[in-house]
Amino acid sequence: MLQNVKRFHFTKSGAFQYCSTLSLQERLRTEIPEESANVSIFKVPGNLRAVEANAYEPNIISIGPYHHGKSHLQAMEKVKWQFFHRLFGPISQGSEEKLEGVIEVMKGLEPEARSYYSEDMKMSREKFVEMMIIDGCFIVELFRDMEKSKDKVEPVGEKQELERKPALESEGKDKPAGGKWELDRMPVLQKPVFAHGHGFLKRWMLPILRNDLIMLENQLPLPVLCKLFGLTNRIPATPSCSSVQKLALNFFSPLMPGAAKSPQQSVSDNRENDAKHFLDLFRSSILPGEIKREKEPYLFRSMVELKEAGIKVRTGSENRKPLDIKFESGVLKIPPFSIKDYHCTLYRNMVAFEQCYKACQPDVTRYLFFLDGLINSAKDIELLHYAGVLQHSLGSNKHVARTVNKLCREVSREVDDSYLSDVVRSLDEYCNEPWNRYRASLAHNYFTNLWVTVSTAVAAILVYLAVLQTCCDLSGSHDSLQQFGFWKLVVKSFIIPFSHSLSITGPVSQFDESQEFIWLYS
């Protein structure tokens, strides 16, 4: 240190230079740490947020630190606490010891959980651990209740009987001789476990909860949720409740852009274990399987252009992933997809994740760019709708086209290693083939509907019969055929109706070659 000091004159500028040098050296060692490989929960970039800010802001619930404490989300904090109280409340046996164990485990996970967030949260360790436990327990219990509500119901029992007795008495009904109200003679009311146990969760909340829990900025690390799921599990695991990943896929399945029948089977175990959070997990469940990747051409064709080239659009197989697009034998197969408000929110958050997370292929972004190329006008939306590929509830086709075109605004398109490269190239080659366009034009002009097709067929039959009759007449005149030849007789046959207008006397068959020549060209 002393040797370094002797190198400078202690002037004002020299002292400032020395201090600045030390400050930069300290920053290199302490203030620029290496980014963790776990970073996967990002704040949405400003350019994407400027296009549609509401797509990234939760409506009723905050999960994680980014939106924690916002005033318009405080109403759901009471609901979170009610779920938490059910797990660790005073009526639960050994709940205090169980909660202490959960707190210790979460304290051990706290450094790893922080490493998943791209932003530095100004939150104490105790506050961060409390947030993870409250938010995580709410999610886990919500998923469990939703799974139970699918196939389990609670029959009206003794408690419901007591609740209905005062109502019956108030209606003036006499007590039966047996001393009990015969509820079995009345319609038996059955309520889902979820609805019966948690009346404070209104029906309108569920779609909004799905929307909020899938947002990029509203996530908890999946390892935290997996650990809480194991620590709070009170019953033996069933196949559908064996992991929080399977519960999550079941819960978010209504958001599926396509018609995936078994979302729990749509993502492999490796992808389940590698997923960082719910948005990453759901995104993995809709990706296509292993496929050849190459550089993608820049040119896209709209639906109108594809129709002019004779390309037909069909819905893909029900077993295909929503992003699995194929082009075979002039048929473009696209799995059905929907454009609704919550679908747009889902797409935007997946695009934002792919733009920020460098360890994934931006396949959803490529898919949306492909749709953006297909859809340029209301006519394109109409063609996709009538093909059974697109459903929407956003009003006019023109408005839907504008909405689709905005999904990739302010997003950079990557053409390398695209899973759609083969499809785009094949479409372009098919459209550039002249014969395909001629054939499509013929079909469009002469076979558009039943009546046009019948008219075209009748006209073709009449022409064919006329030619056939002419040839038969010519072939019957053997002498004329030998004298003049077949094609000359064909010409004569077509000119016979006009012979009177040409003022020619005598049978045509009696002319010699010189007369015929003069007759034809006079």
CA 227 to chain centre: 29
- Asked if residue 453 belongs to a domain, the reply is no
Q: Where in the sequence is the domain holding 486, given as residue range(s)?
A: 462-521
Write out pLDDT tens, residues 187-224: 333 344 344 444 567 888 899 999 999 999 999 999 99
Q: Are residues 323 and 375 in the same domain?
A: yes
Most confidently modeled range among 102-106, 488-492, 501-505: 102-106
Judgement on whether residues 113 and 254 belong to the same structural domain of the protein: yes
Judgement on whether residues 95 and 225 belong to the same structural domain of the protein:
yes
383, two tokens: 């063609």
Cα–Cα distances in angstroms (integers) from residue 418 to residues 203, 288, 365, 431, in the given order: 41, 12, 10, 21
- 35 secondary structure, DSSP code: P
Name the band, by pLDDT with cuts 50, 70 and 90, for residue 226: very high
Q: Which residue has the higher pLDDT, 438 or 377?
A: 377
- At 255 the pLDDT is 86
The per-residue pLDDT for 292 is 82
Residues 204 and 56 in one domain: yes
One-character DSSP codes across 265-278: GSS-HHHHHH--SH
Confirm if 311 and 325 have CB atoms less than 8 A apart: no
C-alpha separations of 111 from 62, 105, 106, 134, 317 in Å: 21, 12, 10, 18, 45
Mean of all residue pLDDT scores within the chain: 76
The answer as to whether 245 is a domain residue is yes
Q: Any idea what DSSP says for residue 214?
A: T
CA distances from 357 to 43, 224, 280, 498, 513 (A): 11, 20, 10, 81, 87
Mean pLDDT throughout 456-473? 69
Mean pLDDT throughout 419-429? 89
Number of domains in the chain: 4
Interval 79-89 mean pLDDT: 87
Report how far residue 236's alpha carbon sits from residue 110's, in angstroms, rounded to the nearest whole number.
28
pLDDT tens digits along 294-314: 888 777 888 988 888 888 899
Residues 83 and 111 placed together within one structural domain of the fold: yes
**Distances 237 to 153, 224, 227, 255, 501 between C-alpha atoms, Å:** 19, 19, 14, 25, 98
| Mean pLDDT, residues 23-38 | 67
Domain boundary among 218, 252, 286: 286
- pLDDT score for 154: 42
pLDDT digits (tens, 9 = 90+) for 436-464: 555 555 555 555 656 666 666 777 777 76
d(CA 373, CA 376): 7
Separation between Cα atoms, residue 471 and residue 493, nearest integer Å? 9
C-alpha neighbours within 13 Å on the C-beta side of residue 310: 20
My answer on whether 281 and 426 are in the same domain is no
Say yes or no: 345 and 414 in one domain: yes
Single pTM value for the model: 0.73
- What share of the chain in percent tops pLDDT 70? 62
Instruction: For residue range 317-362, list pLDDT tens digits in order.
Output: 766 788 999 998 889 999 998 888 888 999 999 999 999 998 999 9
